[in-house]
Amino acid sequence: MTTEEHLVRLRGGQQMTLSEKLNLVARLSFPSMMAQISTIIMEYIDSGMVGHLGKDATASIGLVMTSLWLVGGLCTSFISGFTIQTALAIGGKDNRKARSLTFQSFFLVMVIAFLICGVGALLHNRIPVWLGGRPSLQEDAGGYFLIFCLFMPVMCLRQLCNSQLTASGNMKIPGILNTLVCFLDVIFNYFCIYSGGDVHIFGTFLHLPGLGLGVRGAALGSGLSEVAVAGFSLYFLMRKGSVLRLRREEHYRLIYKDIIRAVKISLPMMFERLVMNAAQVVYTMIISPLGNVALAANSFAITTESLCYMPGYGVADAASTLVGQSIGAGRKKTAVSFGRITLAYGMLLQGGLGILMFAISPWMIGILSPDQNVIDQAVAVLRIEALIEAFYGAQIVGSGIFRGAEDTFVPSLMNFFSVWVVRIPLALLFTRVMHLGLMGVWIAMATELFFRGSIFILRFLTGRWMKRHEKWDRQDESAQI
């Protein structure tokens, strides 16, 4: 039975066995996980390319990366405000409503993306200064930030199309396209970062040209890969046979109720992204005085750790789709059942990857940098984080489950409290008072992630994330995990 046939059964109210649920979770998670893993592998290669330009080049990107996460996260949150509604509409068999939401999301997300692009471009020279970056890093860091902001609308278009496809239950196409954008990123980065040279291929030397833009070339290469793939994303969303393809005979318009609902869903998520990424910015400001070696080691450690937690986001995507469509179909117990399965799956997967990362971290970091001081610091802090990856997985997948149930406000407050009341004070204590350096920053991070994962597990077990949805179809009362 295909994935779509399983989803049709889910929306149609038919009962599913535990093995069928496990099979559906695996099928929906796998393409997204592979896309996330390929993304990180390509970013890993990307970091290695920049890393061989020297620790200052890596430090300049690390200086502004958290700020880019901040501006990108604001737009991504608004995308979720529509994709959650899309999953609910498809679960309720209201495909015309889902297409209307798709139309409205294009208009409003692009407006927000261009606003973010403009503000980011205006502030690109000031941000490295505000973050406390050393003068030697500010020019490259500002240029990297500017180029990324200019490509922001295209990046948001691709993410919107892929998110809508995911909400409809199509994980395969977004997975392929996410992999493609990363593959192209490496190719474009090579030509944009380096000045070119001779490459030995099959016994002959081939001369490859290059722009030699260094750090700015890394941003330009990423932007060009987004442009190349955004058109494919739009095509697959609008192609014949897609449930979300806009029809000429249907008249679409902006609907106040849908927009307000999207805003209500998105605002807590935007707040969450704001406080989380703002905390990352503060983290960068705490690390900056520790020197360029610490900045570079922190950047490499984050990139390598992503290989552990990015698959969790793939499971979270599947959780949002399955919980959202179950709720849309009026099936409470099925939604809870899928929540339990995905939460356990995400924790086991991420915990296992954390153990693997602990063992091979010296080899992984050694690929990225030839500087032994950078390698030693990165490996030391990375092994601290490896011990609590399962709890980080609980937070990531838990967020996906709660999003599917439109429960975004309380989780955003939980994230705010955990990061700003636990992580930041501990980081300041360990670095400013106890003088533990970069090690102290990552001990604080690991402690906070353990705490945050625990409270997300607790919220799931209490069932309060389902409180919004009080009325259910009685047909689902016999559903079991």
Residue 430 belongs to a domain: yes
Residue 136 belongs to a domain: yes
Residue 211 belongs to a domain: yes
Residue 96 has pLDDT above 50, yes or no: yes
42-74, pLDDT tens digit by residue? Answer: 556 666 677 667 777 777 877 777 677 777 767
Decide which of 457 and 127 is more confident: 457
- What domain count does the chain have? 1
Q: Which burial class, exposed, middle or buried, applies to 285 when counting CB atoms under 10 A from its CB (0-12, 13-18, 19+)?
A: middle
The boundaries of the domain holding residue 28 are 3-475
Residue 202 has pLDDT above 60, yes or no: no
Instruction: Give pLDDT, residue 394.
Output: 95
Q: Where residue 31 falls among pLDDT bands split at 50, 70, 90? A: low
> What's the mean pLDDT in 100-106?
92
Structure tokens at 240: 């014949």
For the chain, percent of residues with pLDDT exceeding 90: 22
> What's the mean pLDDT in 114-138?
83
Decide which of 335 and 455 is more confident: 455
> What's the mean pLDDT in 431-454?
92
Residue 214 belongs to a domain: yes
Instruction: Give pLDDT, residue 479.
Output: 43
Instruction: Give pLDDT, residue 232.
Output: 92
> What's the mean pLDDT in 172-188?
84
> What's the mean pLDDT in 223-231?
91
Q: Give a three-class secondary structure readout of the chain.
A: CCHHHHHHHHHCCCCCCHHHHHHHHHHHHHHHHHHHHHHHHHHHHHHHHHHCCCHHHHHHHHHHHHHHHHHHHHHHHHHHHHHHHHHHHHHCCCHHHHHHHHHHHHHHHHHHHHHHHHHHHHHCCCHHHHCCCCHHHHHHHHHHHHHHHHCHHHHHHHHHHHHHHHHCCCCHHHHHHHHHHHHHHHHHHHHHHCCEEEEEECCEEEEEECCCCCHHHHHHHHHHHHHHHHHHHHHHHHCCCCCCCCCCCCCCCCCHHHHHHHHHHHHHHHHHHHHHHHHHHHHHHHHHHHCHHHHHHHHHHHHHHHHHHHHHHHHHHHHHHHHHHHHHCCCHHHHHHHHHHHHHHHHHHHHHHHHHHHHHHHHHHHHHCCCHHHHHHHHHHHHHHHCCHHHHHHHHHHHHHHHHCCCCHHHHHHHHHHHHHHHHHHHHHHHHHCCCHHHHHHHHHHHHHHHHHHHHHHHHHHCHHHCCCCCCCHHHCCCCC
Instruction: Give pLDDT, residue 477.
Output: 40
Which of 92-101, 302-311, 438-447 bottoms out in mean pLDDT, i.e. has the lowest?
Answer: 302-311
Beta partners for residue 201, in sequence order: 204
The single-letter code of the amino acid at 257 is K
Decide which of 211 and 447 is more confident: 447
Instruction: Give pLDDT, residue 84.
Output: 79
Residue 471 has pLDDT above 60, yes or no: no
Tell me the average pLDDT of the chain: 82
Cα 61 to Cα 15, 117, 192, 193, 215: the distances in Å are: 50, 18, 15, 13, 7
Count CB neighbours of 232 within 10 A: 16
Residue 480 belongs to a domain: no
Instruction: Give pLDDT, residue 379.
Output: 92
Residue 481 belongs to a domain: no
pTM: 0.70
| Cα separation, 293 vs 404, whole angstroms | 41
